[in-house]
C-alpha cells in the first residue's frame, strides 16, 4: 500500500438498468487502469505520479438475473419467453461466481479500487467486502457471518427449528490490473420470491436459502437508512478518504 491515503469518489446512481451500470463500470475501470499506466511511465521518467481516484458506486437495478463466468445456465429456471413475460432481463457477465438476482430493494455496491494502493490480495479483498456487510448487519442487531465453504454473508441456521442457513449478501468480483469490478448485492428489502426462478449462486442445498435485512428485523428497511452505514464501514475497513459526494443521480428507466 502507498503512504498516501487513497481518495474515493462516491456516487449513488439510484435506479439504473443493469447494462447501463455495467457499461459505466467498464468505462470508469478503464480510466483507472489508464491512469495506472500513465503513472508507471511518469515514474520511469522520474516524475511524480498523478493522483489516482478510486470510485464506489451504489445502485439499485430493475429485476435482472446475471450469470458469472464460472456459472451454469441450468441454474436459470426460466426460459427466454418466461423472462420476458415476467419482466426480467438476463446477462452473462465477467465476474466470478454463478447466477444471482438483482432488483429493487437490494443495495448493490460496485467498488472500483486500484488494489495496488490498498493491498494486492484477492482473498483479503473479498473478506473485506464481507466485513462491510457483517458490520452493517450488526448495527441493525443482526448477527451475520462468513461461511467457510462459500463467499458472501450468511445468517446461521437452526436445525432444531428447521430454519435454513440463509444468505443475506452475494459477492462476485472481477479484477484486471489489480483494479476491481462488480462487488456485492445486499438484500435490504427485495422481492425474495424472485430468487425462486434461479438456483441462487448455484447452491442447491435444502438447508440453505436467502433472506433480507427487513425480514430478519421484522420491519421494512429503506435503502436510505442503510446506505450511510455501508459507506461508513467501507471507509473504516479500506482506510480511504472521500471526495465530495456526487449529488446527481441517473435513472435508466
- Active-site positions? 201
Residue 97: count of CB within 10 angstroms of its CB:
23
Instruction: Read off φ and ψ for residue 128, nearest 5 degrees.
Output: -70, -40
Contact present, 153 and 131 (Cβ < 8 Å): no
Rounded to 5 degrees, φ, ψ at 105 are: 90, 0
Cell numbers that stand for 166 in this block: 440463509
Q: Could you tell me which of 116, 92, 108 has the C-alpha nearest to residue 175?
A: 116
Amino acid at each position: 500500500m502507498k503512504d498516501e491515503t487513497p481518495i474515493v469518489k462516491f456516487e449513488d446512481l439510484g435506479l439504473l438498468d443493469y447494462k447501463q451500470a455495467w457499461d459505466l463500470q467498464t468505462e470508469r475501470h478503464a480510466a483507472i487502469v489508464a491512469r495506472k499506466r500513465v503513472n508507471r511511465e511518469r515514474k520511469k521518467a522520474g516524475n511524480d505520479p498523478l493522483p489516482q481516484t478510486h470510485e464506489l458506486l451504489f445502485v439499485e437495478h430493475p429485476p435482472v438475473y446475471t450469470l458469472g463466468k464460472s456459472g451454469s445456465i441450468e441454474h436459470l429456471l426460466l426460459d427466454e419467453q418466461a423472462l420476458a413475460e415476467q419482466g426480467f432481463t438476463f446477462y452473462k457477465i465477467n465476474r466470478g461466481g454463478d447466477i444471482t438476482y438483482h432488483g429493487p430493494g437490494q443495495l448493490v455496491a460496485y467498488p472500483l479500487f486500484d488494489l495496488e494502493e490498498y493491498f494486492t490480495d484477492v482473498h483479503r479483498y473479498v473478506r473485506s467486502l464481507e466485513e462491510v456487510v457483517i458490520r452493517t448487519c450488526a448495527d441493525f442487531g443482526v448477527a451475520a457471518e462468513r461461511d467457510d465453504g462459500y463467499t458472501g454473508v450468511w445468517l446461521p441456521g437452526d436445525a432444531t427449528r428447521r430454519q435454513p442457513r440463509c444468505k443475506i449478501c452475494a459477492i462476485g468480483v472481477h479484477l484486471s490490473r489489480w483494479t476491481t469490478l462488480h462487488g456485492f448485492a445486499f438484500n435490504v428489502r427485495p422481492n425474495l420470491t424472485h430468487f425462486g426462478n434461479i438456483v441462487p449462486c448455484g447452491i442447491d442445498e435444502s438447508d440453505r436459502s436467502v433472506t433480507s435485512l427487513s425480514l430478519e428485523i421484522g420491519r421494512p428497511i429503506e435503502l436510505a437508512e442503510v446506505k450511510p452505514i455501508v459507506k461508513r464501514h467501507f471507509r473504516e475497513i479500506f482506510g480511504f478518504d472521500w471526495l465530495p459526494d456526487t449529488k446527481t443521480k441517473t435513472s435508466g428507466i
